[in-house]
Amino acid sequence: GENVEQHPSTLSVQEGDSAVIKCTYSDSASNYFPWYKQELGKRPQLIIDIRSNVGEKKDQRIAVTLNKTAKHFSLHITETQPEDSAVYFCAAYLEDSNYQLIWGAGTKLIIKP
Amino acid sequence: DAGVIQSPRHEVTEMGQEVTLRCKPISGHDYLFWYRQTMMRGLELLIYFNNNVPIDDSGMPEDRFSAKMPNASFSTLKIQPSEPRDSAVYFCASTLGRPETQYFGPGTRLLVL
């Protein structure tokens, strides 16, 4: 079945610098890749997603890239701010299975002032 | 829109007691998901429903857990009897169609003593 690996588990960056979180998936049939942000004590919320017919998507300071050949996708956050501190989860959706998102283990992003 | 509603927000109970968690999905959504989140195991899908019908309950840890969705606006997750290892945050999420954004409720923080 599908498996999603997420790295790193913890990422600490200086405020203003960029942060990159990477995920790999195992099933080439996966076609939808969302990213969720979970602030401490809060619920996960979608911040950006990408479908397999697109290589890159941007929304202000965040962007996601998808490499279908290598089966990996990445979240890029530029000009990081304190409010970016959170746990970020990637996920992959496999069309051919029962509807189920396969989740990565999460990355704790720490923004240092 | 009120979003996904969960109750109670916090539950403290003693081992052996029955626990019932409740969820009201966003009106019109046709998929409902129950997740469990712990530090050790991350975000785990327990069960999901499509149009009130359970589709995949392979994530339900054991027979002590059961879930129902008697109508489109209400679902319950029951643990009987509860054990200390059930302590976690339980999230309910809903979505319209697939694959689309999953909207999470605020979660129920369960502590079993």
A27 touches chain B (CB under 8 A): no
- Pairs of residues, one from chain A and one from chain B, whose beta carbons lie less than 8 Å apart: 42
Give the mean model confidence (pLDDT) for residues B96-102. 82
Give the mean model confidence (pLDDT) for residues B31-50. 93
Strand positions, DSSP E, B1-113: 5-7, 10-13, 19-24, 31-38, 42-50, 53-56, 65-71, 74-79, 88-95, 103-104, 108-112
Burial of A37 (0-12, 13-18, 19+ CB in 10 A): buried
B102 touches chain A (CB under 8 A): yes
**What pLDDT is stored for residue A97 in this prediction?**
60
pLDDT tens-digit profile, chain A (113 residues)? 778 999 999 999 999 999 999 999 988 888 899 999 999 999 999 999 999 888 999 999 999 999 999 999 999 999 999 999 999 999 998 766 666 788 999 999 999 99
Give the mean model confidence (pLDDT) for residues B84-104. 92
**What pLDDT is stored for residue A96 in this prediction?**
62
Which residue in A45, A98, A103 is closest to B104 by CB distance? A45
Which residue in chain A has the smallest CA separation from B91?
A: A43
**What pLDDT is stored for residue B113 in this prediction?**
97
CB A103 within 8 A of CB B42: yes
Angle at A68 between CA A23 and CA A9, to 5 degrees: 5
Yes or no, beta carbons of A101 and B31 under 8 Å apart? no
Q: What are phi and psi of B108, to 5 degrees?
A: -120, 120
Which residue in chain A has the smallest CA separation from B55?
A: A98
Q: Which of A46-55, A61-70, B77-86, B93-102 has the lowest mean pLDDT?
A: B93-102
**What pLDDT is stored for residue A98 in this prediction?**
66
Interface of B with A in 1-60 (CB under 8 A): 31, 42-43, 45, 48, 50, 55-56
Q: Count other Cβ atoms within 10 Å, centred on residue A10.
A: 10
Pick the more confident residue, B40 or A100. Answer: B40
Give the mean model confidence (pLDDT) for residues B66-72. 97
DSSP 3-state assignment of B113? coil
**What pLDDT is stored for residue B2 in this prediction?**
81
